[in-house]
Amino acid sequence: MAVSMWDKLADRLHAQSVAALYLHIPFCKSKCFYCDFSSWATTTGDPVMKHYTKALMQQVDELAAAGFLDSCETAYIGGGTPTLLGEGLFSLAAQVRSVCLQLHEFSSEANPESLTPDLAGLLADGGVTRLSLGVQSFVDAELAALGRIHTSEHARAAIRSAADAKLDVSLDFMCAIPEQTDESWKESLEQFLACGIDHVSVYPLQIEENTVFGQRYEERDPAWHDQDIQAARMLQAQKQLAEAGFERYEVASYARNDKACQHNRAYWTTKPYLGLGTSAASMLTHEGYERFCQLAPQLERAPHDTARVRLVCMSSREAIARGASLAELDFELEFLSKTEAAAEDLMLAARTIAGITDELYEHAGSCIDKGRLEQSFETLLKDGLLERREAAYIPTERGWLVGNELYGALWGLASED
Ligand code: SF4
C-alpha cells in the first residue's frame, strides 16, 4: 500500500533515531566583533580542544552503540572554527564516518586562515564531502572592520584547497556591514560567481548584545545597520545569483546543480536531529527522547502529551573536555505538545521556497484550532507575507525581509488561546 504524504507527516513524530548529527566545536583563534555564537578564543595547542574533541568522539560511540545513528543521513561539524582542531578534525570526521553508515552528506565549517591544502585533503580522506567556508566578504577593509582575521587572499587560497581536495564548497557572506557599499557588495558577489562554486549563504549582519559591536553601538545604530540597506543588498544578491542560475531555496541559502545543503533541509523539515557539544541543540520525537534517556538517565521524563522535545546542551566546554559521557551532561529541555510541534512545522517551512504545502497545512489543522489557523493565514496573505502558489503557501520576498513577523505569527499558533 502506498504511504500517503499525510502518513509521512504523522510518522515523523514517531521516529526513534535521528536523521542528522551536529557536532559543535566552540573554539576560534580570536573573537569577531559581531559574534555571539558559542565560541571562545584560544590557541592551536590548547589541551582543552584536544580533550573536548576526544569526549565528543566518545559520545558519538555511545550513540552509535545504542543504534541511535543507524539512519543518520547527514552530519555537520560546526563552530566556532572546526579547522582550528587541525588533525583532530580528521580523527573526529573519520570516526563519525565509520559509525554513520547511511551518511550521504558530511559537512564541516572552515575558516580561511586555518584551512591548509593538507587539512582539506585529510578531511576528504576522513569522509567529509562538503566544506562551508566563512568568507563573509572579498574586500579586505570590510573583513578587518568585522574583526575577521583572514584576508581575501586567504579566502581564495582556501577555496582552491577545498576544490583540489574535490570537496563541495559553500561560502558564507554578510551584507549591510561596515565599510560596505552597494558597489563593493556587487563586487564580492561577482568574485564569488567567478569561483564557480554552487552554494552560498547570504545574511544581513545583526548587532547582538554582548559583542564588541553590541557595546560599540549601544547608544545608536550605525548608518550601515539599516533595514532598507539590508533589504536592498539581499535583493541585489538574489538578482545576481538568479542570473547565474542559483535558486534561493531558503531565506539565506542559494544553490545550483543540485547542491542544496541536505543537513540544513533536515532542520527545516523537522526531521529529528542530535547535537553534541556545548550549546548544541537537538530535536527528538517523544519516542526518540525516551530512547535517548536510556543513555542519559539524568534527564526528566517527558509529560505524556509530548510530541517533540528540544534539548540544548548546557555543559561547558571544560566540563565536556573532562571526558563527560552522555549521562554526565546538563541539558535544557523544552517539551512541545502536538499543537506546538505543528506550529513549529509551519514556522520552519516558511523559511523555505517550498513553503507550507497543503498537506502540511491540513496536518496542522488536525492539531491547531481550524478557525485560528484560517484567520492567521488570511491575515498573512492579506499582509503580503505569504502567497498562494501551486498548492502551497509560499513566503513572499517581503515575508522573508520581515521574517520575524512571519515566523512569529506562525509560532503564535502554538498558544492555546
Ligand atoms: S570565526 Fe565565526 S564563530 Fe569564530 S568568532 Fe568569528 S564569527 Fe564567531
143 C-beta closer than 6 A to ligand 1 = no
Model pLDDT for residues 117-171, shown as the tens digit of each residue: 999 999 999 999 999 999 999 999 999 999 999 999 999 999 999 999 999 999 9
Packed helices 370-382 and 358-365: angle between N→C axes, nearest 10 degrees? 140
Question: pLDDT category, 44, cuts 50, 70, 90?
Answer: confident
Q: How far is the CA of 110 from the centre of ligand 1 (A)?
A: 10
Q: Which three cell numbers stand for residue 129?
A: 564531502
Model pLDDT for residues 180-238, shown as the tens digit of each residue: 999 999 999 999 999 999 999 999 999 999 999 999 999 888 999 998 999 999 999 99
Share of the chain above pLDDT 70, in %: 97
37 C-beta closer than 6 A to ligand 1 = yes
Packed helices 182-194 and 227-243: angle between N→C axes, nearest 10 degrees? 30
Give Cβ neighbours of residue 224 (< 8 Å, ≥ 6 apart): 176, 177, 178, 180
Residue spans of the domains in the chain: they are 17-266, 342-414
pLDDT at residue 5, as a whole number? 63
pLDDT at residue 7, as a whole number? 65
Residue 206 DSSP one-character state: -
Residue from 28, 36, 84, 142 to probe ligand 1 pocket by mutation (most atoms less than 8 Å from CB): 28
32 C-beta closer than 6 A to ligand 1 = yes
Q: How far is the CA of 36 from the centre of ligand 1 (A)?
A: 8
Packed helices 370-382 and 403-411: angle between N→C axes, nearest 10 degrees? 170
Which strand (E) or helix (H) includes residue 99? Answer: helix 87-99
Model pLDDT for residues 313-372, shown as the tens digit of each residue: 999 999 999 999 999 999 999 999 999 999 999 999 999 999 999 999 999 999 999 999
How many angstroms separate the CA atoms of 290 and 284, rounded?
Answer: 9
134 C-beta closer than 6 A to ligand 1 = yes
**DSSP per residue over 231-282, as a string?**
HHHHHHHHHHHHHTT-EEEETTEEE-TT---HHHHHHHTT--EEEESTT-EE
401 C-beta closer than 6 A to ligand 1 = no
The b/e string for 230-239 (b: 16+ C-beta within 10 A; e otherwise) is: bbebbebbbe
How many angstroms separate the CA atoms of 284 and 32, rounded?
Answer: 32
Q: Are 6 and 360 in contact (CB under 8 A)?
A: no
Higher pLDDT among residues 195 and 43, named by residue: 195
How many angstroms separate the CA atoms of 83 and 116, rounded?
Answer: 9
Q: How far is the CA of 144 from the centre of ligand 1 (A)?
A: 13
Residue 26 DSSP one-character state: -
Which residue has the least CA distance to atom 7 on ligand 1? 35
In this model, does residue 6 exceed pLDDT 80? no
Residue from 24, 31, 201 to probe ligand 1 pocket by mutation (most atoms less than 8 Å from CB): 31
Residue from 34, 37, 135 to probe ligand 1 pocket by mutation (most atoms less than 8 Å from CB): 37
Q: Report the SS3 class of residue 315.
A: coil
Which residue has the least CA distance to atom 3 on ligand 1? 80
Which residue has the least CA distance to atom 8 on ligand 1? 35
Which strand (E) or helix (H) includes residue 289? Answer: helix 286-295
Averaged pLDDT, 371-397? 95
80 C-beta closer than 6 A to ligand 1 = yes
Superfamily (CATH H level) for 17-266: Aldolase class I (3.20.20.70)
How many angstroms separate the CA atoms of 394 and 350, rounded?
Answer: 7
Question: pLDDT category, 390, cuts 50, 70, 90?
Answer: confident
Task: Name the pairing type of β-strands 356-357 and 331-337.
Answer: unpaired
Q: Are 94 and 61 in contact (CB under 8 A)?
A: no
279 C-beta closer than 6 A to ligand 1 = no
277 C-beta closer than 6 A to ligand 1 = no
How many angstroms separate the CA atoms of 134 and 254, rounded?
Answer: 15
pLDDT at residue 43, as a whole number? 87
285 DSSP β-pair partners: 308
Q: How far is the CA of 34 from the centre of ligand 1 (A)?
A: 8
What are the distances in angstroms from CA 236 to CA 138, 176, 184, 187, 271?
16, 12, 12, 11, 32
**DSSP per residue over 142-199, as a string?**
HHHHHT----HHHHHHHHHHHHHTT-EEEEEEEES-TT--HHHHHHHHHHHHHTT-SE
Q: How far is the CA of 149 from the centre of ligand 1 (A)?
A: 10
Q: Which three cell numbers stand for residue 169?
A: 564548497
Q: How far is the CA of 78 from the centre of ligand 1 (A)?
A: 11
Largest Cα–Cα separation, the chain: 63
Give me the amino acid identity at 410: L
To the nearest 5 percent, what fractions of the chain are helix, strand and coil? Answer: 45, 20, 35
How many angstroms separate the CA atoms of 52 and 319, rounded?
Answer: 9
For residue 134, whether the previous peptide bond is cis, meaning omega lies within 30 degrees of 0, is no
- Alpha-helical (H) ranges within 40-85 are 47-65
Ligand 1 atom closest to Cα of 35? 8
How many angstroms separate the CA atoms of 124 and 106, rounded?
Answer: 10
Model pTM? 0.94
